[in-house]
Chains A and B, each alone.
Chain A
Amino acid sequence: MKLCSRVILTYLALAFATSGALAQDEIVTLGPPWNEAGERLLIQGSTDVEPFTPVLKAFSARVPNLAIRYEEILTNELYERAMRACHDGEASADLVISSAIDLQVKLVNDRCAQPHVSDRTEALPDWANWRDEMFGITFEPAVIVYNRDRVPPEQVPRSRFDLIDMVRPAENPYAGRIATYDIEQSGLGYLFAFVDSQHATTFGRLIEALARNRMVATCCSAEIIDGVAEGRYLLAYNMLGSYALARAEVDPRIGVVAPADYTLVLARAALIPRWAENPEPAKRFINFLLSEEGRLQLAEASLIVSFGSSEDGGSSLLSGGPSTLHPIPFSPALLVGLDRQKREIFLDLWRSSVGGIQE
């Protein structure tokens, strides 16, 4: 733990609760001073600094001579920087970890990543490894978050069908009090909605039902979950499970449900940019994240969510079996959602049902 003394939280202004989307770049450095000539590893990621720092520390403890710098950057910015650096042939980060896996797929497809093969990457399931250039390191479900005080236990929707049924009556307490991401602003919300639309015919009915009930489409995990905790919203759909569970641990007002019909699962994707200056430490870090210890650390940070009854403590538990889990595969099919025309068409569809009711 002596190493921890060297941890410098350069800028940790806001609480985890509000850091979701609005935060400025936050930076963590670990190990020897950054400017010293020596081995260095620059990671840029969309993951919040607070939950990710213990993971970085655990890695730093293993490689004490490696200077590590982690910069928290929003997904779009992250993508643009990486793309620009790729086209200019410049080194940006040594490792890019983003929850916007569609953008990561695009980076790989545009040949902006370099391959890395190890025992650990080969052990990954196919859906979490594309071209040996992009690796899924977390396991985060898209969940329904509800207010435990305001939603009676018997009314808690266990699936999308429950949700549709729940809001069917003309006069119901949920009208105007169901929130989801504004998919025009939130890349993650768009990704979840888009994959939802590919997955099931329920999507259309759901959007229609929610729109009829004046669903609130707004920004950012933290704000929506705050709203649920405070009772402004009773229910939030398609929230990222890692945030929700982390909040639920400390806030008894928040309840979390993984839809039983199917639960989308997102794996944050790590890739090494093509022109990375220090690919070797980046590879080592990926191997660490995929190792037993790395996975344990990620589980501690709620970034790997276990389902069902699990013996290894520390990981967050959700009901639901693997059969209903639908990990979003890393595949060029994700490029479809990024297509300018497709996006326009999809957003038109969204707006036509939800758009008018935005708060």
Chain B
Amino acid sequence: MNSRTARPPSIAWRLALAITLILAAGGLLITVAAYAYGRQAAGEAYDRLLAGAAFEIARSVSVTSGRVVVDLPTSAFELLALAPKDRVVYRVLDRDGKTVTGYDAVPRPPQSADDVVFYAAEFGGETVRLAATRRRFAERAYSGEVGIVVGHTTRARKALARDITAKALMILVAAGLAMVALTVFAVRSSLRPLGRIERAILDRNPKDLSPLHVSSPREIETIVVAINRFMDRLARRVTVMQTLIADATHQLRTPIAALRAQAELAAAEENPERLRSITRRIHQRTVGLSRLADQLLNQALIIHRADAVEQQRLDLRAIAVRVAEETDHDLPEMGRDLGLDLPDDPVEVRGDAFSLVEAAKNLVNNAFRHGERPVCLTVETLAGEGRAEIAVTDNGAGVPTCHWADSGRRFASTAGSSARDAGLGLAIVNAVAEAHASRLEFSRTADGRFRAALRLPLQRDAGS
């Protein structure tokens, strides 16, 4: 029940919210801008009207026997009547500032050199917009300017400004609706591949862990890739598990059978002398079996870690020191003979310390068990190749050259090499090498010593 109330957020809703916010903010901005523009446009349009009327009246002014005469043209007022609901004011002034005709109360224009001046004033309790122009007379009887002022109230301007704004807003609303519709369409069509992926996963056989093949856009391709990577890991894990079980079964069956035979033999044996020798053999077998079990479990653990544990920056020298310590602890009779050859500077790589220690220990064990002493653990920086190396050398014959290539494979040891249980150990080393983007390499040193090395990529910004 709870899960229903706390449903995860929906992309569509988020987009709807975002678009609503954008549209609201944009709408507000555009409304303000449209109104400002509308007012300006309306103002300019009606100012031109006023100027036209003023010019027409100016043209009708004449001077007759020293007197200014205005033959007011009706057309000028018809022009003003294009602002149909506005009151009209006008005034003609002679050079002395006396009213020739019109409303005495119309305020005089401000001083200006322009042909026509626009100004606002209060007239009869209402704001009026006025245009003033002048006409110069240079006649014997009258020399000077006649001023013409025409104005009207601002109803038509405001109405036009509102009209322009309203139309702009209508377009805005239409655009907004179109945007919403397009968004809905875009969201639906872009989420459709997710549906296809869902169906592809649901439709497949539960045992089928092969990669998905779903056509999808680039953005969603990453999801498919992630799913495929995950499936790949899953498939590998399953395979590893199956292999591990198969290995364990195979490797444990023979020693356990031998142990059982020895135990049966011991049960039937009367002679205490022989019984003791059988018991000693049983003990040896048991020790071998326990090491085998250890290795199997270690391998499983390391393979698990390769997939699951995040690699960290570490110093290979520290790994080598830990290997030496643990060897000393596990194999006290050999540990003292392990030579360590470490550089002075840190050798930084990325990796999983536990896996690397296990791998190196396996190499050391193999060397002690199958090679000849002195065994030496070396850490080296190969700056030229951008790699670092942790290597074990011994004096033994080592892995026969013909097995160098396939030595990492499981059971390779059973193929008859002298190193009976080295196979499983090398398989672990190989698994670790794989997890660290490196490989196990065998070689002979210049003085003929056998050398097994793990080459890891150097941490790029090492030393910084």
A331 within 8 A of B: yes
Interface hub of A111, A130, A132, A336 (most chain B Cβ within 10 A)? A336
* Distance of B142 from chain A, by nearest CB (Å): 15
* Distance of B39 from chain A, by nearest CB (Å): 21
A341 touches B100 (CB 8 A): yes
Which A residues touch B100, using CB under 8 A? 341
Mark out the residues of chain B between 277 and 296 whose CB falls within 8 Å of any chain A CB in the assembled complex: none
B70 touches A341 (CB 8 A): yes
* Residue in A131, A132, A336, A345 whose beta carbon sits within 8 Å of that of B77 in the complex: A336
1/0 per residue, CB under 8 A from A, across B77-94: the answer is: 110110011111100000
B125 touches A109 (CB 8 A): no
Mark out the residues of chain A between 258 and 308 whose CB falls within 8 Å of any chain B CB in the assembled complex: none
1/0 per residue, CB under 8 A from B, across A81-108: the answer is: 0000000000000000000000000001
* Distance of B450 from chain A, by nearest CB (Å): 111
A109 touches B88 (CB 8 A): yes
Mark out the residues of chain B between 101 and 116 whose CB falls within 8 Å of any chain A CB in the assembled complex: 101-102
A342 within 8 A of B: yes
B217 within 8 A of A: no
1/0 per residue, CB under 8 A from B, across A180-201: the answer is: 0000000000000000001000
* Distance of A49 from chain B, by nearest CB (Å): 33
1/0 per residue, CB under 8 A from A, across B306-325: the answer is: 00000000000000000000
A341 with B72, Cβ < 8 A, contacts A333-B77, A336-B77 known:
yes
Count of A-B residue pairs with CB < 8 Å: 54
B87 touches A108 (CB 8 A): yes
A111 with B74, Cβ < 8 A, contacts A339-B101, A341-B100, A345-B69 known:
no
Alpha-carbon distance between A218 and B73 when the two chains are bound, in angstroms: 28
A335 within 8 A of B: yes
* Distance of B90 from chain A, by nearest CB (Å): 8
* Residue in B70, B78, B124 whose beta carbon sits within 8 Å of that of A333 in the complex: B78
B44 within 8 A of A: no
Alpha-carbon distance between A261 and B357 when the two chains are bound, in angstroms: 119
Which B residues touch A333, using CB under 8 A? 74, 77-78, 81
Which A residues touch B89, using CB under 8 A? 109
Which B residues touch A110, using CB under 8 A? 87, 124
Which A residues touch B70, using CB under 8 A? 339, 341-342
Which A residues touch B72, using CB under 8 A? 336, 339, 341-342
Which A residues touch B71, using CB under 8 A? 341-342, 345
B126 within 8 A of A: yes
A131 touches B74 (CB 8 A): no
Q: Return the 4 tightest CB-CB contacts between A and B, nearest first.
A: A332-B88, A333-B77, A331-B81, A342-B72
Interface residues of A (CB under 8 A from B): 108-111, 126, 130-132, 198, 331-333, 335-336, 339-342, 345
29 A/B residue pairs, CB under 8 Å, sorted by A: A109-B87, A109-B88, A109-B89, A110-B124, A111-B125, A111-B126, A131-B87, A331-B78, A331-B81, A331-B84, A332-B77, A332-B81, A332-B87, A332-B88, A333-B77, A333-B78, A335-B77, A336-B73, A339-B70, A339-B72, A339-B101, A339-B102, A340-B101, A341-B69, A341-B71, A341-B72, A342-B71, A345-B69, A345-B71
Given contacts A110-B124, A332-B87, A336-B74, 19 further A-B contacts (CB under 8 A): A109-B89, A110-B87, A131-B87, A198-B74, A331-B77, A332-B77, A333-B74, A333-B77, A335-B77, A335-B88, A336-B73, A339-B70, A339-B102, A341-B71, A341-B100, A341-B101, A342-B71, A342-B101, A345-B71
